Amino acid sequence: MATGNGFGTASGIELVGRMDLPGGGKVEVDKGFAYVGHMDPPHGTSVIDVRDPKNPKLVAQLDVPPGIHSHKAAVSDGVMIVNYERYENNRDAQGGLKVFDVSDPANPRETAFFEASAKGVHRFTFDGRYAYFSPVPEGYVGNICMILDLADPAKPREVGRWWMPGQWVAGGEEPTWPGTMHRCHHPIRRGDRLYVSYWHGGFVILDISDMSQPTLVSHFDTSPPFPSPTHTALPMPEKLMGREILVVVDEEAQKSAPLPYAFMWVVDISNEAHPVPIATFMPPVDGEPTDRYGAHQPAEQVYGNVLYVTWFSGGLRAVDVSNPYQPKEVGYYVPEPGKGQNTVQSNDVFQDENGLLYLIDRLDGLEILEPRV
């Protein structure tokens, strides 16, 4: 039974290699190198040689100034982008996206900085040409959805934006929600659609066949009544049982008991104008976990019908969605706490083309794993 305290336990997933590393927010692997964005300054981004996964080696580190949160990194074909998100107590910092040439991974070289207001950028995806990200432009309340063209990595340019009606206060709109409860977390592209998690605003599906004019296809919100915000909306690459499926993962934003823990939704989007939730998944819980426990982020690289989802102190869960009406757990891995830590907070996971999993902890440590499910 998963309690959030069964550290060092596993089923169907085996440890290959590990290294101590400052707490990370996101990990990506490209051509044998892992790129980790860290939670807290002065740590910005680490580059790790994982060509021998049993012996990962740190080859480069980028620092950030005080007051800057640079916890996300994405890489494609020698180009890396990282976020600069300003902490509220640092009024002097400028937020945005930094672009690096990592054709030599051991020597990242900055090529551009795209300013995105003082507040900056939270999370994003990057397909090698376009970045789909969540800045807070001047005149808006909360993060919106923006598309950036990096055809010339030295001169990134905005090509399109979309916001939830009510966010553009400079244009006379008025939000119908408190504060920044409705804000873009991050978009994921499949074809000419963006699947955009919108925090306590649920998720939206956008048509980007004309990137300069993203248009709303549908909007679905579960909060309220459910207390946890929508973190990720991940489209499955193939139909399941003849249906188009979107996997939606909420975030356990805090230790929420006695409210329900954050969990994973399975949503039928065969009629994309009318999304229909058809199932949910939560690992078995025995008693009340003593630490932050609940869903956070799935591996966005999907090679089959088994999804790998980080679950904070619940570690990593392997979920088979072959039958989208009855998702079931087929494996798990709960790491030992990292250096100086009393708990685990599994935060992000990446699956490479060889099937290896790279699991980053919010507090400390990178684990390289091999699934056997």
109-160 per-position pLDDT tens digit: 999 999 987 789 999 999 999 999 999 999 999 999 999 999 999 999 999 9
Considering only 34-38, 155-159, 164-168, 256-260, which range has the smallest mean pLDDT?
A: 256-260
Residue 171 pLDDT class (50, 70, 90 cuts): very high
Q: Is the model more confident about 94 or about 353?
A: 353
Q: Is the model more confident about 341 or about 281?
A: 281
Beta partners for residue 319, in sequence order: 307, 329
How many degrees, rounded to 5, is the angle at CA 199 between CA 186 and CA 323? Answer: 80
Q: What sign results for the dihedral spanned by CA atoms 357, 51, 71, 20? A: positive
Please say if the pLDDT value at position 2 is more than 60.
Answer: no
pLDDT of residue 89: 62
For a pLDDT cut of 70, what percent of the chain falls above it? 96
Residue 315 pLDDT class (50, 70, 90 cuts): very high
Span 290-299, average pLDDT:
90
Residue 7 pLDDT class (50, 70, 90 cuts): confident
Q: Is the model more confident about 289 or about 260?
A: 260
Span 239-268, average pLDDT:
89
How many degrees, rounded to 5, is the angle at CA 74 between CA 68 and CA 75? Answer: 135
Please say if the pLDDT value at position 4 is more than 50.
Answer: no
Asked if 280 and 266 touch (Cβ cutoff 8 Å), the reply is yes
pLDDT of residue 288: 75
Span 304-314, average pLDDT:
96
- The string over 74-103, giving b where at least 16 C-beta atoms fall within 10 Å of a residue's C-beta and e elsewhere, is bbbeebbbbbbbbbeebeebebbbbbbbbe
**Residues with Cβ within 8 Å of residue 9, at least 6 apart in sequence:** 315, 332, 333, 334
Residue 91 pLDDT class (50, 70, 90 cuts): low
Grouping H, G, I as helix, E, B as strand and the rest as coil, residue 169 is: helix
Span 197-214, average pLDDT:
98
Evaluate whether the domain defined by 9-371 bears CATH number 3.40.50.2300: no
Considering only 172-176, 188-192, 255-259, which range has the smallest mean pLDDT?
A: 255-259
Helix, strand, coil: what percent of the chain each, to 5? 0, 50, 50
What rounded mean pLDDT belongs to the chain?
94
Please say if the pLDDT value at position 12 is more than 50.
Answer: yes
pLDDT of residue 258: 67
**CA–CA separation, 71 and 83 (whole Å):** 7
Per-domain residue ranges of the chain: 9-371
